[in-house]
């Protein structure tokens, strides 16, 4: 069965780009805050239809003819737990794998040959189920909320290094202030 993804310009209703996806079980759509990129997380059935695997269709909206790249994780059977674009930036992060210690991979849409998407790093076995980029970019919090006992890891993506880790027991929500200088968490 065919599932089309169409990018339509408003108000003209002109179709700018279309991609037909096959054997789709589920799709999730993630826009980058400036509208430069679109990620479509596609969960597909295997040929036997007994299981599924996941990949991403990455649209470069501002480039000529809106090129699309396919990104598959090293382990195609990894479950996608969370996805987040860097605000106003070109990087994104994905939590993937099995709980309680999935992996976190960070990618860039600007590095690599011919402006192809490339993986910057994979952080193995993190107690995380949510991602929170600073509004100014550069920093991301890998958070283990609710059942993960409030594990927080503050990560500098420019330097590819952990800045600090903390545990805020029973943390349920996290929010950055608009400047990216402060972060608050809530235990609800």
pTM: 0.91
In 3D space, the residue among 104, 167, 111 whose CA is nearest the CA of residue 132 turns out to be: 104
Fold of 2-7+15-186: Methylamine Dehydrogenase; Chain H (2.130.10)
Give the burial class of 157: count Cβ atoms within 10 A of its Cβ; 0-12 exposed, 13-18 middle, 19 or more buried.
buried
* Residue 102, strand partner residues: none
Q: What is the model's pLDDT at position 139?
A: 96
User: How many whole angstroms separate alpha carbon 72 and alpha carbon 70?
Assistant: 7
Question: 30: which DSSP letter?
Answer: E
Is residue 43 within 8 A of residue 24, CB to CB? The reply is yes
User: How many whole angstroms separate alpha carbon 71 and alpha carbon 6?
Assistant: 19
Q: What is the model's pLDDT at position 113?
A: 64
From first to last of its 188 residues, what are the pLDDT tens digits of the chain?
Answer: 788 899 999 999 999 999 999 989 899 999 999 999 999 999 998 888 888 889 999 999 999 999 999 999 988 889 999 999 999 899 999 999 987 889 999 999 987 566 789 999 999 999 999 999 999 999 999 999 887 778 899 999 999 999 999 888 878 889 999 998 898 888 77
User: How many whole angstroms separate alpha carbon 81 and alpha carbon 130?
Assistant: 8
Q: What is the model's pLDDT at position 111?
A: 72
The domain segmentation of the chain, as residue ranges, is 2-7+15-186
Q: Where are the beta strands (DSSP E) in the chain?
A: 2-9, 14-22, 24-31, 37-45, 52-60, 68-72, 80-85, 91-96, 103-108, 118-123, 130-133, 139-144, 151-156, 161-167, 173-176, 183-186
Q: What is the model's pLDDT at position 52?
A: 86
């Amino acid at each position: 069965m065919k599932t089309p993804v169409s990018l339509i310009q408003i108000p003209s209703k002109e179709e700018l780009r279309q991609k037909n996806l096959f054997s789709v079980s589920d799709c999730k759509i993630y826009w980058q805050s400036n509208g430069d990129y679109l990620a479509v997380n596609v969960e597909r059935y295997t040929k036997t239809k007994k299981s599924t695997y996941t990949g991403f269709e990455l649209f470069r909206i501002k480039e000529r003819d809106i090129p699309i790249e396919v990104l598959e994780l090293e382990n195609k059977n990894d479950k996608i737990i969370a996805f987040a674009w860097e605000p106003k930036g070109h990087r994104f992060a994905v939590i993937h794998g099995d709980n309680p210690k999935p992996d976190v991979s960070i990618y860039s849409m600007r590095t690599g040959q011919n402006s192809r998407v490339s993986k910057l790093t994979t952080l193995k076995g993190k107690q995380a189920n949510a991602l929170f980029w600073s509004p100014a970019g550069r920093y991301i919090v890998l958070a283990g909320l609710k059942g993960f006992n409030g594990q927080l890891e503050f990560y500098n993506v420019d330097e590819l290094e952990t800045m600090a880790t903390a545990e805020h027991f029973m943390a349920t929500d996290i929010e950055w202030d608009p400047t990216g200088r402060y972060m608050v968490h809530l235990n609800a």
